[in-house]
Chains A and B, each alone.
Chain A
Amino acid sequence: MLSDAHYRAVVEFLHREARLADEARYAEWHALWTDDGVYWVPATTDPAADPEKHLSHIYDNRTRLDTRIKLLQTGHRYSQEPPSLMRRLISNIEVERAENGEFVAASNFILAELSVQAKHEMHWWVGRTTHRLRLVDGALKMSQKKVVLVNAAEPLPNLSFLI
């Protein structure tokens, strides 16, 4: 059973996670992950996509996720230096509780990214996200974030910000 309080906590987490990503607050966003976190952005919209067989845009275990954050924090990740200006809207949220107690939240997003590292350009990113959230010492943390872009298989501009 999912209580109203649980639902509200999950939605608040999604909103906070989105804001930290939008504002390039790398350390705070990084702290939202469990130690066994998996960050996955498939390169296809096929629901049968298997990251052990098919190429992904991102398939980070915790070690690679740490590297991703460190790169952004060097100040020399020129594809995000300075960081893109971003705001994303999250909607159509559906929350379930998995057998292991984790919350599984599916949601749609639309993200406006103003890329400012070369010619200034607005990029629009749209997709569906699945979060797996686990209670760790009373606080929710992400154990998985999967982002399926509607144009995952099409030519994409740089995606080195936090999607």
Chain B
Amino acid sequence: MSIPAPLRIDYKTLVQDDRIHVSLYTDPRIFTDEMDRIFARGWVFVGHDSEVPTPGDFVTREIGAQPVIMVRKRDGDVSVFLNRCMHRGTMLCPAASGHTRTFACPYHGWTYDLDGTLLGVPYPGGYASFDKSAHGLRAVPRVSSYRGFVFASFSRTGPTLAEHLGPATRLIDRSCDLSPDGEIELRAGWVKHRCAANWKALPENDSDGYHLGFVHLSLFKTVRSSQYQRVVGDEKAIKAVVRDWGNGHIEIDWSPGYEQPFEWFGSASGPTVERFVAALERRDGSERARRRIMEGPAHALIFPNLFLGETNVAIVQPVSVEECVHWHTPMFWKGVPEFDGRLLRMSEAGMGPASFLMPEDLIVSARNQAGLHASSVEWLELARGLNREYIDAEGRAVSHVTDETTNRALWTHYRTVMTEA
């Protein structure tokens, strides 16, 4: 049996500046290649500090196709280990989350400490000599975090997390700084929404401002809110923009269209809101505090799998070439727990299988996936906005919210990653 030769897929031909090839959504060899090049080499979002507050707390996730455990160690640091016993490969932790003192394999009783150290191997007489230190849990080599968002990379070398994020850290700041304590907390649990489409449909749709008035017509016809009405209607009257932050990080910025504070929050008034604004003003001064409540949190994709969905954090989880899962949970703002209930209800309205928005997104994604099997037409168009996008003072491409500037930025970075030596 021989190991197959490396794939020779010509991504420079498949991803062009104004169109992309259908096989990027349907070819299982390309999916395998992506799990290696994007998910097993680059920086990938794993979870948030607040999900594992005390030593022994863990959550299980998948980085691409590989199951991992994110755990708080006794020294207070967070590590990410492959979720498999180093003996015969048994998955150590099937639970989605929990608290433990050790990780014990049910198969032959090998037991590991929270830092991955192999503590014990039953019946050691079966080995002439056994170096326990060589059989500790396999840690994902690099783990790094920004404002509590934990990312991991299987590459020992290459860009640091700071280099990968670049100026896009400001998108994370924009969301975290709405908390008077400057921290968000993920403690509501996750909802997982299954989608019969290639995983790339999720970041593409999350950053697409063109579909709103069509895919979500049922909501626009039912709910009359200024937040929604400002992003549909006359093309010239829409002020929201799309923006390319580099390295595949992309944003829809609704804020140029907002005219009142808290439009992103469905407007707000009352004593709770007044206390919240006062806390932001104490920290930031009144001018910056006012800007925060006008602009609201980010609506942005951090390449490849973290979606800052305004008051939600979402994860894009690939499953197979034609299936993926969209996870989400509300961002609770530390310091104002009295908003937790409202943030929960906003999450349930917007995201998840029973919400008022995402079912439409994901059924259209599934219809895209089905339509792409009409593969006699080989190309998907991606040229919208090339006639009017511009580079701003900070070097970022910006355009009308209905333009495909974000999608092109995603694919341009994809092509770079998929063709790197």
Interface residues of A (CB under 8 A from B): 41, 43-44, 51-59, 64, 67-68, 70-72, 74-80, 117-119, 121, 153-160, 163
A sample of 19 more A-B contacts (CB under 8 A), given A53-B188, A55-B330, is: A43-B189, A43-B190, A43-B352, A51-B344, A53-B340, A53-B344, A57-B352, A59-B344, A59-B348, A68-B356, A74-B217, A74-B218, A76-B221, A80-B359, A118-B369, A118-B370, A121-B196, A154-B192, A159-B354
**C-alpha gap A136/B370 in the complex (Å):** 48
A78 to B192, CA, bound (A): 20
Query: Which one of B96, B348, B364 contacts A78 once the chains associate, using CB atoms below 8 Å?
Result: B364
Q: Tally chain B residues at the interface, Cβ within 8 Å.
A: 40
Chain A minimum-CB-distance residue to B326: A155
Bound form: Cα–Cα A145–B296 in Å = 35
Of listed B217, B222, B347, residue having the most chain A CB within 10 A: B222
Residue-wise interface mask of B (92-119) relative to A, using a CB-CB cutoff of 8 A (1 in contact, 0 not): 0000100000000000000000000000
With A59-B348, A158-B362 known as contacts, the answer to whether A67 contacts B191 (CB < 8 A) is: no
Query: Is there an interface contact between B363 and A117, defined as CB atoms closer than 8 Å?
Result: yes
Assess the A160–B193 pair: CB atoms within 8 A: no
Which residues of B are found within 8 Å of A119, using beta-carbon distances?
196, 366, 370
**Whole-angstrom CA separation of A155 from B218 in the bound complex:** 24
Please classify the interface of chain A as helix (H, G, I), strand (E, B), loop, or mixed, using the class held by over half of its residues: loop
* A41/B354 in contact, CB under 8 A: yes
Contact in complex: B221, A74 (CB < 8 Å): yes
Residues of A contacting B366 with CB < 8 Å? Answer: 117-119
A86 to chain B, nearest CB (A): 15
Give 15 A-B contacts (CB < 8 Å), ordered by A residue.
A52-B344, A53-B340, A55-B330, A76-B218, A77-B218, A77-B360, A78-B215, A78-B364, A118-B363, A118-B367, A119-B196, A153-B192, A156-B194, A157-B194, A157-B196
A55 x B219 contact (CB < 8 A): no
Q: Are A64 and B349 in contact (CB under 8 A)?
A: yes
- The answer to whether A159 and B359 touch across the interface, beta carbons within 8 angstroms, is yes
